[in-house]
Amino acid sequence: MEKIEFDETAWPLVVVRYPKVIEQQDFERHLGRVVLFIKRQQPWAMVNDSRGSGHPDAKQRRAIAAMYDEHETLVRTFWRGAAIVFDSPLTVGVVTAISWIRSPPHPFKAFTSFDDGRRWASNVVLAFAGSRAA
């Protein structure tokens, strides 16, 4: 069974790659790891590479919302952005529309190009670092 993969070699940019099927136990491990990034109390951003993967189910979406609620202050302070990359422009449009209704407590943008998502996420971290230095 494929697992969710994390690449933090370019910290403060974290790339997460999702398998076709996201098992509940692996998803919980994933959220635990995200919480550890938040608790570092350093600005960071994430690229969610969801190309070819399934989407979180209702239980997993509730777990994401609970994580945001529990760590809202740290999320708003240190999680500078999340880019999510999908195969389909239609999915990008749907996710973007949903984010207008209930946006996450950090900047968020959906893409069909991994390179564009990575560039955007890198820029939000760099912009934050630049504003802190000024």
Contacts of 22 (CB under 8 A, 6+ apart): 4, 53, 54, 56, 57, 60
pLDDT score of 134: 46
- What is the predicted pLDDT for the residue at 72? 94
94 DSSP 8-state letter: H
pLDDT value for 19: 93
Q: State pLDDT tens for residues 66-116.
A: 999 999 999 999 999 999 998 887 777 777 766 676 778 999 998 999 999
Is residue 130's pLDDT more than 60?
Answer: no
**pLDDT at site 121:** 97
Alpha-carbon distance 110 to 93, whole Å? 8
pLDDT digits (tens, 9 = 90+) for 14-54: 999 999 988 999 999 999 999 999 999 999 999 999 999 87
> Tell me, what's the pLDDT at 87?
86
Q: Which domains does the chain have, with CATH numbers?
A: 5-133 (3.30.750)
